[in-house]
Structure 1
Amino acid sequence: MAAHRTTTPSYNFNMAPLYTGSPLNLALIGCALATVYFVGSAFYYLFLHPLRSYPGPLLYRISRIPKAYRLMRGELIFYMRDLHAQYGPVVRIGPNELAFSDPQAWKDIYGHRVGGAPDLPKYDGFYRVIDNVPRSIINAKREEHAFLRRQLAHGFSERSMQAQEPIIGSYVDLLIERLKERCDDGAAALNMREWLNWTTFDVIGDLGFGSSFGCLEKSDYHPWVKIIALSVRQMGVLNGLANAGLRPLIRRVLRMGLTAVTDHQSLVREKLKQRMELDFERPDFIEGLIKKKDENMLDFTQVAANSNVLIIAGSETTATLLSGAIYLLTAHPDKLERLANEVRSVFRKEEEITLTSVSKLTYMLACLNETLRHYPPVPVGLPRVTPKGGAHILGKLVPQDTIVAVWQYAVSHDERFWKDPFSFSPERFMGDPAFKNDRLDAMQPFSLGPRNCIGRNLAYAEMRLILAKIVFNFDMKLSEDSFRWMEDQVAYSLWDKPSLNIHMKPVTAK
């Protein structure tokens, strides 16, 4: 019998090991794995993904980084316009993201769903970049949104608007007074971006928190206004980081307290505490929320989150639209002259100009609507996510979990829906035959459907009142150093506006 082998098998220990642990080998292995992952992902997104048939730039179809890069540079909205011009009404701008430019897409994405189907939910990757704060009316889920909207509705009702008129009117009158003090009979130019920001910020301070910020009284920025302007830029960067998948970095930056975003939130909470100390009711925006807090249906952080939204939506966007209107009117003196003739013929005395009476100004409404088209205060796409089973958009089933949006600036400058889209032509909103083929429903600056802007009517009334009183009292001329005011801007979620210098000359009393 053969002896049982008990000896240890021999191995050739002189062979070179597969992995030596050297930094160079580590780097090579890492690069190889990254290359394999990237090539495999690219192959999947290009040839196997459910959105593979939609057109779009190659890099955008396989990665979210190119979109994030353009967003952080403030140039994404212009690129989106170019993409729709090149690829058509539907463009794939991310591995699982589609952009739309079509009037019907507004209804399909944001409108009421047929047969009681649930609305397309908002995309948290955009609406909750900061994910450790309570939800507000702008990013709440369906049921919570309906509850919050009911509590805020009273503050935006027709009855409340009538009660708020003396408050709003007092700040507009103070604006006119301050402009007259500083206009130097038109010799010196005034930065109207500042004055409009101060006005709308004072108004929202009073209507939202029970007291003014004193900007017009002091003719200077409240520190909070500067923080808001900075936070707009920083939110663009944070959105870009979120788009690139770097949320952990966002949380670390916010924990360190290095952004204007956190400073803004702290100031909101401080101002809200002051408002809640008032022991009487006011016809303001958050009275309904405070009542629900007192009934233990909301906590302080939830009220603060909604107050945060109101102060941005109620001040920055209104000031932006008015700045755009004044720039476009002064850049087109014939349009400004027509508007001035309308205002000064309808009203003989300044006291006649009220939140209600400004509804008579049809050409002014056309000018504001054209400004909303030409220079929408929120020029980006407001993304939703298709639900389980997908959703039909423009007659085609879009797969579930796809991010979808209509990009406001792009659709408002789409030559398929607007004649001369880059011209400033208020006449297109007055039935001018030259613009008979324009699709006015392609423009939805306040969105539509169950989650449209709750402050739409108040915003229109406030904008018309402010612009009417300015035009009634002053002749305006655009300063040479602001000739390119609109052309040189960038946009994140909102516009980053430079100074708007206007020569203001008081109208001679008749």
Structure 2
Amino acid sequence: MDQLTLLLLISFIFIISLFILHSRISQSAKSPPGPRPLPIIGNILELGTLPHQSLANLSRTYGPVMSVKLGRTTTIVISSPKVAKEVLQEKDHAFCFRTIPDTIRALDHDKISVAWMPPMSQWRVLKRICATEVFSSQRLNSTQSLRQRQLKELVHHVSEFCRKGEALDIGDAVFTTVLNSISNTFFSLDLALYTSDKSQEFKDVIRGIMEVAGRPNIVDFFPVLRVLDPQGARAKMIGYVAKLIAFFDGLIEERLQFRGSEMESKRFNDVLDSLIQLMMQENPQVSRSQVLHLFLDLFVGGIDTTSSTIEWAMAELVRNPEKLKKVKEELKQAINEDEQLEDFHISKLPFLRAIVKETLRLHPSFPLLVPHKTEDEVQLCGCFMVPKNAQVLINVWAIGRDPSVWDDPKQFMPERFSSTEIDFKGHDFELIPFGAGRRICPGLPLANRTIHIVLASLLYHFDWKLADGLKVEDMDMSETYGISLHKAMPLKAIPKQT
């Protein structure tokens, strides 16, 4: 056999081998199943007004790894703990980028935000600052007394409704408490009074940001329309973001002027002071702009999700009087009558902790988490190929209601956590309302303390009954969706002194 014939034969065998290998790869790594998309619009019409519920329903048909087409965007929806673990822990390096909604581009927030920016060097700096300067145990312990004052003011406010026998809007009261609790931790000041309109102003801006960010936007499905902003969503977001950025900038300027005054010797033991020190270093770790947008992330996300979780927990307890009675008995046994509720009491209250876990299981603040994105093709579950630039949604709402994961998943049963060590801190993928992996919510330590201690204060000092003769079986527990999940109908209840 001459050399030319041998070379041609080797080439032919090589080509055939490549073809067989490609066929095997194609067979072993296929696209996840999903509903058939319509031309151009894909599956957009199937999302509805509650996309987490719509996607959960579709996943029952197409499985825990599902592909849907939203305009030009391929979206992979994950609805099982096992696959969520693969995405967020085992292969989190491949899934740790973000799909950026057009509204998040307001004032270039996506380029500076610790929640949205790519996981590069500056993101690591901001994440480290969150861990060491904002949410460390030392920082939260040092600002505990400021939050204690908010609990006393909440009890005093609720006592007025108790004295008058009037119904309290629990969501509004909790929002003001959490607003002032977080603002004292960050800035050493109250931002609102229970009797003023200031709390409502902040609530309108914060809820506005969450709703606009989460509402379906045609620009996200068809990026070619970005320049037109046909729904005006980005314009609305710019208005909301500009208000908060201007407010934070005023606080920074005021603190800088204070540092240069005769009273400079007085030090604030708060987050703002720590971040200003980092800004003022010879080789600053962060810029003023980065601090402003960091406060925007932490302030908006922390207040909205924490207050909504407490309202959901109260709604479930009012709806389940036997659970309410049980947690009140635990509180009375663990806390002396003349004692002030403090963070360390949380460890003595296992049923209260179980209530918070059960609330987060049924009503996760971010039902689809913040969207992830792939930078390259990634194989998932050993058989599916997730394409480059695909959006990846983790449907934690669906996981929390999956009957293969939880017994009686639609029932509010805190007792289910009495015989398990499952927690929501990112290690147990059956319960990941704050996410997991490198992009877990940085504010989890403060949220954990605030949710438990505010909820305990409302339960320890007061009994609760529904207003206007409403029966528990008639309570409206429907949801409204932004980027976060809220109770559609405000919870109003009459407090009674215990």
What is the TM-score with the length of structure 1 in the denominator? Answer: 0.79
272-281 vs 190-199, which moves further: 272-281
Q: Deviations over 1:306-354 (max 9, x none)?
A: 1101111221111011000000000000111111110011112252421
Between the aligned partners of 1:86 and 1:357, the Cα distance in structure 2 is 45
Unaligned 5+ segments in structure 1 are 1-47, 433-438
Q: Deviations over 1:260-296 (max 9, x none)?
A: 3443444343344345544354343344432332234
**Is residue 121 of structure 2 the alignment partner of residue 130 of structure 1?**
no
SS of alignment partner, residue 215 of structure 2: helix
Instruction: Give yes or no for contact 1:231–1:259 (8 Å, CA) kept in 2.
Output: no
Instruction: Give yes or no for contact 2:34–2:66 (8 Å, CA) kept in 1.
Output: yes
Instruction: Give yes or no for contact 2:400–2:431 (8 Å, CA) kept in 1.
Output: yes
**Is residue 255 of structure 2 the alignment partner of residue 269 of structure 1?**
no
Query: What's the counterpart of residue 39 of structure 1?
Result: none
Instruction: Give yes or no for contact 1:350–1:469 (8 Å, CA) kept in 2.
Output: no
**Is residue 96 of structure 2 the alignment partner of residue 106 of structure 1?**
no
SS of alignment partner, residue 176 of structure 1: helix
Q: Deviations over 1:74-101 (max 9, x none)?
A: 3111111111122211111225211011
Distance 1:285 1:242, change over 3 A: farther
Between the aligned partners of 2:377 and 2:238, the Cα distance in structure 1 is 42
Between the aligned partners of 2:103 and 2:382, the Cα distance in structure 1 is 24
Q: Deviations over 1:445-487 (max 9, x none)?
A: 1111122122222211221111112111000123356956653
Between the aligned partners of 2:96 and 2:112, the Cα distance in structure 1 is 17
4+ long deviations beyond 6 Å: none
Query: What's the counterpart of residue 141 of structure 1?
Result: 118
Matching residue within 472, 480, 500 for 2:491: 500
Distance 1:329 1:56, change over 3 A: same
SS of alignment partner, residue 295 of structure 2: helix
The offset of 1:428, in angstroms, is: 1.1
Matches within 5 A, 1:334-373: 334-349=322-337, 351-373=339-361
Query: What's the counterpart of residue 444 of structure 1?
Result: 432
Task: In structure 1, give the amino acid aligned to 2:268.
Answer: R
Q: Which has the larger radius of gyration?
A: 1
Between the aligned partners of 1:422 and 1:242, the Cα distance in structure 2 is 33
Distance 1:174 1:196, change over 3 A: same
Query: What's the counterpart of residue 30 of structure 1?
Result: none
Query: What's the counterpart of residue 135 of structure 2?
Result: 156
385-394 vs 309-318, which moves further: 385-394
SS of alignment partner, residue 269 of structure 1: helix
**Is residue 277 of structure 2 the alignment partner of residue 291 of structure 1?**
yes
Matches within 5 A, 1:54-453: 54-59=32-37, 63=40, 66-67=43-44, 74-94=49-69, 96-111=74-89, 113=91, 120-125=96-101, 128-130=104-106, 132-133=108-109, 134-142=111-119, 143-154=121-132, 155-184=134-163, 187-216=165-194, 218=196, 221-237=199-215, 239=217, 241-245=219-223, 246-250=225-229, 254=234, 259-279=239-259, 281-295=267-281, 296-349=284-337, 351-393=339-381, 396-431=384-419, 441-453=429-441
Query: What's the counterpart of residue 17 of structure 1?
Result: none
The offset of 1:391, in angstroms, is: 4.0
Cα RMSD (Å) of the superposition?
3.1
The offset of 1:64, in angstroms, is: 5.2
Task: In structure 1, give the amino acid aligned to 2:59.
Answer: H
SS of alignment partner, residue 382 of structure 1: coil
Between the aligned partners of 2:449 and 2:237, the Cα distance in structure 1 is 38
What is the TM-score with the length of structure 2 in the denominator? Answer: 0.81
**Percentage identity across paired residues of the two chains:** 21
Distance 1:500 1:256, change over 3 A: closer
210-219 vs 377-386, which moves further: 210-219
**Is residue 449 of structure 2 the alignment partner of residue 470 of structure 1?**
no
SS of alignment partner, residue 67 of structure 2: strand
Between the aligned partners of 2:112 and 2:216, the Cα distance in structure 1 is 18
The offset of 1:184, in angstroms, is: 3.2
SS of alignment partner, residue 502 of structure 1: strand
Distance 1:244 1:359, change over 3 A: farther
Give the number of equivalent residue pairs.
448
**Is residue 480 of structure 2 the alignment partner of residue 490 of structure 1?**
yes
Q: Deviations over 1:231-250 (max 9, x none)?
A: 32222336554234332233
SS of alignment partner, residue 132 of structure 1: helix
Instruction: Give yes or no for contact 1:238–1:250 (8 Å, CA) kept in 2.
Output: no
Distance 1:298 1:102, change over 3 A: same
The offset of 1:255, in angstroms, is: 5.3
The offset of 1:300, in angstroms, is: 2.2
The offset of 1:192, in angstroms, is: 0.3
Instruction: Give yes or no for contact 2:59–2:66 (8 Å, CA) kept in 1.
Output: yes
Unaligned 5+ segments in structure 2 are 1-25, 260-265, 421-426
